[in-house]
Amino acid sequence: MKYLPQLTQTLTQQRWKQVSQKLLAKMIAEFMYEEIIQPEIIEKHTTYNSYQLSLPNQISYFFQARKCLFDSYIVKTESLKRQENQKKTPAFDPLKFVLDIYETVGMTAQTTGHLIKELSNTLLADSHIQYHQENQPWDGKILEYAQIEGEMTGHPWITFNKGRIGFGYDEYLQHAPEQKQPINLLWIAVHKNKAEFNCVKNLDYQTLIREELGEETINKFTEILNNQHLNSDDYLFLPVHLWQWQNIIIPLFASDIANNFIVPLDYSSEQYLPQQSIRTFSNITNSQKRHVKLPLSILNTLVYRGLPGERTVIAPQVTEWIKSIYNQDFFLKDECRIILPGEIASINYDHTYYSQFTGAPYQYQEMLGCLWRESVLSYTEIDEKPVTLASLLHILPSGKPFISQLVENSGMTIDKWLSRLFEVILPPLLHYLYRYGVVFSPHGENTILVLKDNVPHRLAMKDFVDDVNISEYPLPELDSLPEQLRKVLLTEPPEGLCQFIFAGLFICHHRYLSQILLEHHNYAEEKFWLQVRTTILNYQRRFPEMQSRFELFDLLAPKFTKLCLNRNRLITYGYADDGSRPHAAAYGHVNNALYLVGQLELV
């Protein structure tokens, strides 16, 4: 019972009830947005209407919700009631809610069983987070970038956002980002006949490893190989996640270990903290040193968190290409001064057998490798403070939003602060899209906001290899794309390319930010989205020669295809184990707030 104290102090009846009811309110709001459920309005009010969700077996849910732009809802947590056989009681059980709705919404029993597991894991993590906030609260002072990552509470849209299937409780306490447990990385040696190293042109393997490990550790690892009568020149040194080593590499690569293609070494001396993505680590011994991204074959949010082999191989070339655009573009480099922490080196190691046939579950194609990414702190200036964009959605234990504290400390009005936020984020993203037919995935975890005196100052974008996509529509600016990258990077038609900004930034981040400001400051949504629209139009007026691109990639269109992350799990894809990663489900359309506020201006 090693972890009994952590368990008993965290899992109290009151705390479990609180996090459960909060999750239930989120599920109802997001399921309404994705049209998984269709409650009826039974009473209209000025702000919060009263709803009833009628289900079979004389079961109903009653609640109050506020309709927002983008066809979204804010559900009042304390209003939730469940009625069965004419008896109405407070509702706070999201797992019971799943059982109540699963047949009605079209979920299979298999999906329902796995979903309950993911939601249970999420509630366990939420309980730990709430305990931490009650006892060791972050008061909103600007922590270091790596520490702020550990304060985040999970994906704002996905309801099963800390499912982490594969972790036991002890592994959760050791490896979850919110636990903020520093680790030393475990290293192995992999034979060059099996592993492939790639890097950007101004780097090489020896330089990378010397900078990462130092001569003393390199000598220690080399001695381990020599003691086994192995030639160190035949090997590459590779960090691995401890969980991955114990649960995936030892059992599935046992043949390679037996034949000395994989040789366990030891831990390195520097310490790291996991970031929000759980598989990427920040160096906290030296914060300017590279981040390390490792495969972790747990199922979290929608996918197994491995490293796709073909993308790992080309990662440094993707970085070089993305930066080549930046280096020759005055607007990006000198005006926006966008920061692009790139994946500058990688090692990929394919499994001997899974790599030999088509259609193997994708999780078995992503088990062993590493990406080294530049630290954003190696680019920032002494008076700049980078924070994850997700932090703007964070509510401090006091009940105050973090963004409220930033605005107060800046001395600005909310209007001016938001205007600066949008001016920092949007122009570089729009420029890559309109001028070059290239998009990042600027959701809250990938996007880094660089503050100066609590004011948005610069933008940093990361995760190129997983999330850079290019236009399927032919553009002359894409002629510079190397053929080997063209074969791997995903291409999208115009609306699909716009979705990375529309769904990734506006739906997945800004809609929650606008709701926080509405609820805490009575800041009108229309005012918020009008500022976003104005920023886009100001950019377009700056570059009138790209009018045809503005029409091709129309972010101000009346409607967009509605991408659905929860529906993907519940109905469309479930827990299938296919040969390729699942994508967001498309269902119906969403009314674009950027178009609607433009119509209001015309009235």
pLDDT tens sequence across 442-466? 999 999 999 999 999 999 999 998 8
Residues 6+ apart with CB under 8 A from 487: none
Is pLDDT above 80 for 234? yes
Is pLDDT above 70 for 206? yes
Reported confidence tier of residue 338, pLDDT bands at 50, 70, 90: very high
pTM of the model: 0.96
Reported confidence tier of residue 602, pLDDT bands at 50, 70, 90: low
Q: What is the pLDDT of residue 517?
A: 98
Span of 1-15, 32-46, 551-565 with lowest mean pLDDT: 1-15
Q: What is the pLDDT of residue 244?
A: 98
Q: Taking residues 383-407, what's their average pLDDT?
A: 96
Instruction: Give the integer Cα–Cα distance in Å for 340 and 322.
Output: 8
346 φ/ψ angles, rounded to the nearest 5 degrees:
-155, 155
- Cβ burial of 524 (10 Å; 0-12, 13-18, 19+) is middle
Span of 337-346, 425-434, 579-588 with lowest mean pLDDT: 579-588
Is pLDDT above 90 for 378? yes
Q: In Å, what is the CA distance from 86 to each residue of 43, 49, 93?
A: 19, 22, 18
Helix axes 402-410, 511-521, angle to 10 degrees: 70
Q: What is the pLDDT of residue 6?
A: 85
Q: What is the pLDDT of residue 370?
A: 98
Q: Right CATH number for 4-149 from 2.60.40.10, 3.30.2350.10, 3.30.310.280, 3.50.50.60?
A: 3.30.310.280
Q: Taking residues 422-437, what's their average pLDDT?
A: 98
Instruction: Give the integer Cα–Cα distance in Å for 50 and 41.
Output: 6
pLDDT tens sequence across 100-138? 999 999 999 999 999 999 999 999 999 999 999 999 888
Is pLDDT above 80 for 1? no
Domain ranges across the chain: 4-149, 182-376, 387-556
Q: What is the pLDDT of residue 136?
A: 86
CATH assignment, 387-556? 1.10.510.40
Is pLDDT above 80 for 593? yes
Reported confidence tier of residue 72, pLDDT bands at 50, 70, 90: very high
Mean model confidence pLDDT for the chain: 96
H helical segments located in 374-524: 402-410, 414-436, 464-467, 483-486, 494-501, 511-521
Q: What is the pLDDT of residue 140?
A: 82
pLDDT tens sequence across 546-567? 999 999 999 999 999 999 999 9
Q: Strands 59-68 and 81-84: what pairing?
A: antiparallel
Q: What is the pLDDT of residue 289?
A: 97
Reported confidence tier of residue 529, pLDDT bands at 50, 70, 90: very high
Query: What percent of the chain is predicted at pLDDT more than 70?
Result: 99
Span of 156-160, 421-425, 488-492 with lowest mean pLDDT: 488-492
Is pLDDT above 80 for 345? yes
Reported confidence tier of residue 601, pLDDT bands at 50, 70, 90: low
Q: Do domains 4-149 and 387-556 have the same CATH topology?
A: no
